[in-house]
Amino acid sequence: MGLPQNSLDEQQLQAGSQANGESNADCVPQGSDLKWWSKETIAIVTGSNKGLGYGIAKELAKQGVTVVLTARNEKRGLDAQKNLFNEGLTNVLFHQLDISHSESISKFSTWLNEKYGGLDILVNNAAILHVDTIRDYQAAKECLEINYFGTKRMIEAMLPLLKASPTGARIVNVSSEYGRLQWLTDESLKEHCSTLSTEDQIDALAQRFLKDVKEVTDGRMEKRGWAIEYPYYQVSKLCLNAYTRYLAAHLMDLSQGYKVFVNCLCPGIIQTDMTLQEEKLLPGGVAPDTMDEGVDTPVWLALHPIGGPTGLFFYKRKVIEF
């Protein structure tokens, strides 16, 4: 996988320029002097002891960034760091981080601040998927707690630590195609979700969903307009996507002089422990996309040339609809 080099298509340029208020030209990579990062650039990747997170951490390290590999389980994290070290990637550190625990996030923030004084790139990758179709309030709550609320808490903790630099800090939210509005089964719910523009509205949607999980006794969430397949995961990623849009707009208003670029993406369908849970996710036992393909877009967004897009949803480096 190479350095970010392709250009944004016309649709992206329009969407990107609307979102970040800059000219199209600012979004277009300008040649071989695109490398704005160095070993002083600090990238955090959540849930990077395995799967896509591990792949993203490895690729960022290969590109010369200093990477903090994080994992909720210390042993799994240290083993992953050791594997990368054995591959010659000595620019990878490890720190424990469970994004569903405020205390863990807080300890991590303190450590990061003391060690590096902040960060440049945050890749929010950690997530879970429950494949059970039976109603399970605890499973739904856990899924939203990690994939949406945990990621949001992590972002909130990192925002004050993002380094003010002319290149702009980057927040990359690893989401999923499943988070798209199209999976909702009720038009008015779709319409409502497409207009979520404040944190309170997004949180209220998550709470409304959890209330429905409690009330819908046969597990058929589509009766209330939610997705038929993997509704817990679907709503968690829908909320993450909405939060990405909200945050991009919010940071644009706040930032005076320095920038934070916030985007989300679907990595494709890649064979990991997450997809190996269910045959249906890997038709014929083969994932349609390779790990390299899955890692490509998050790394491209993390290292995007200065003036990149913000507030958009990507798949294979192209803008897709929320």
Ligand X SMILES: NC(=O)c1ccc[n+]([C@@H]2O[C@H](COP(=O)([O-])OP(=O)(O)OC[C@H]3O[C@@H](n4cnc5c(N)ncnc54)[C@H](OP(=O)(O)O)[C@@H]3O)[C@@H](O)[C@H]2O)c1
**Catalytic center residues:** 233
- β partners of residue 121: 43, 170
**Type of residue numbered 174:** V
Task: Return all residues near 200 (Cβ < 8 A) that are at least 6 apart.
Answer: none
The tokens 């494949």 sit on which residue? Answer: 131
CA dist., res. 15 & res. 26, Å (int): 13
The distance of closest approach from Cβ of residue 222 to ligand X in the complex, given in angstroms and rounded to an integer, is 21
Number of shown-chain residues binding ligand X (CB under 6 A): 31
Question: Whole-angstrom distance between the N-terminal and C-terminal Cα of the chain?
Answer: 26
DSSP string, 182-198: GG-S-HHHHHHHHT--S
Which residue, judged by CB position, is nearest to ligand X in the bound state? 51
CA dist., res. 137 & res. 126, Å (int): 21
R_g over Cα of the chain: 19
Task: Kindly tell me which residue out of 34, 50, 96, 222 binds ligand X, with binding defined by CB under 6 A.
Answer: 50
Q: Is residue 49 at the binding interface for ligand X, with CB under 6 A as the rule?
A: yes
Q: Is residue 99 at the binding interface for ligand X, with CB under 6 A as the rule?
A: yes
The distance of closest approach from Cβ of residue 73 to ligand X in the complex, given in angstroms and rounded to an integer, is 5
The distance of closest approach from Cβ of residue 77 to ligand X in the complex, given in angstroms and rounded to an integer, is 8
- The nearer residue to ligand X, 13 or 97, going by C-beta atoms, is 97
DSSP string, 233-247: HHHHHHHHHHHHHHH
Within 256-295, the residues that bind ligand X by CB under 6 A are: 266-267, 269-270, 272-275
Task: Kindly tell me which residue out of 46, 63, 81, 241 binds ligand X, with binding defined by CB under 6 A.
Answer: 46
The distance of closest approach from Cβ of residue 29 to ligand X in the complex, given in angstroms and rounded to an integer, is 25
Q: Is residue 131 at the binding interface for ligand X, with CB under 6 A as the rule?
A: no
Q: Is residue 47 at the binding interface for ligand X, with CB under 6 A as the rule?
A: yes
CA dist., res. 294 & res. 311, Å (int): 20
Task: Kindly tell me which residue out of 76, 107, 141, 190 binds ligand X, with binding defined by CB under 6 A.
Answer: 76
Q: Is residue 29 at the binding interface for ligand X, with CB under 6 A as the rule?
A: no
Q: Is residue 244 at the binding interface for ligand X, with CB under 6 A as the rule?
A: no
Three-class DSSP category at 65: coil
The distance of closest approach from Cβ of residue 128 to ligand X in the complex, given in angstroms and rounded to an integer, is 5
**Type of residue numbered 173:** N
Q: Is residue 126 at the binding interface for ligand X, with CB under 6 A as the rule?
A: yes
Q: Convert residues 162-201 into a mask of x (bound to ligand X by CB under 6 A) and - (unbound).
A: ------------x-x-------------------------
**Type of residue numbered 44:** I
Q: What pairing do the DSSP bridges indicate for beta strands 169-174 and 260-266?
A: parallel
Binding site for ligand X (CB under 6 A): 46-47, 49-53, 71-73, 76, 97-100, 125-128, 146, 150, 174, 176, 266-267, 269-270, 272-275
